[in-house]
Amino acid sequence: MAEKNLDKAIITVVGKDTVGIIAKVCTYLSQISVNVLDISQTIVSGYFNMMMIVDLSGAKKSFAEISDGLDSVGEEIGVAIKCQREEIFEKMHRI
């Protein structure tokens, strides 16, 4: 039932692995009250891939602002960060 009130988005981080990527992203998210539900990571053809499932329902900023904010964080650490609403993955991979 609690699922219903969640406003889920997927944040992906792709780039060269360095120290502190997760820390920096999480710090930013905590500042704007975005709750992290799940984190997983893998290396694909030498690149660090991280995916976070987050809940935006309590966020202090709009989706567009969060997206822009993550872009800036990404630039700072030299990785590409994307924020997408979860439905695109849900619709594509679940019947």
Partner 1 sequence: MINIGEVIETNDMIEKENLDVRTITLGISLLDCIDSDLNRLNEKIYHKITTVAKDLVAVGQSIENNYCIPIVNKRISVTPIALVGGAACKCPEDFVTIAQTLDRAAKTVGVNFIGGFSALVAKGMTTADENLIRSIPQALATTEFVCSSVNLGSTRTGINMDAVRLMGEIVKKTAEATKEQDSLGCAKLVVFCNAPDDNPFMAGAFHGVTEADAVINVGVSGPGVVKTALEKVRGQSFEVLCETIKKTAFKVTRVGQLVAKEASKKLGIPFGIIDLSLAPTPAIGDSVADILCEIGLEHAGAPGTTAALALLNDQVKKGGIMASSYVGGLSGAFIPVSEDQGMINAVEDGALTLEKLEAMTCVCSVGLDMIAIPGDTKDTTIAGIIADEMAIGMVNQKTTAVRLIPVIGKGVGETVEFGGLLGYAPIMPVNQFSCDAFVNRKGRIPAPIHSFKN
Which residues of the chain form contacts with partner 1 (CB under 8 A)? Answer: 10, 12, 38, 40-42, 44, 49, 51, 53, 63-64, 67, 82-93
| Least Å from the CB of residue 76 to partner 1 | 20
Q: Are 55 and 33 in contact (CB under 8 A)?
A: no
| Least Å from the CB of residue 24 to partner 1 | 19
Sheet hosting strand 47-55, strand order edge to edge: 35-44, 47-55, 8-15, 79-85
| Least Å from the CB of residue 80 to partner 1 | 9
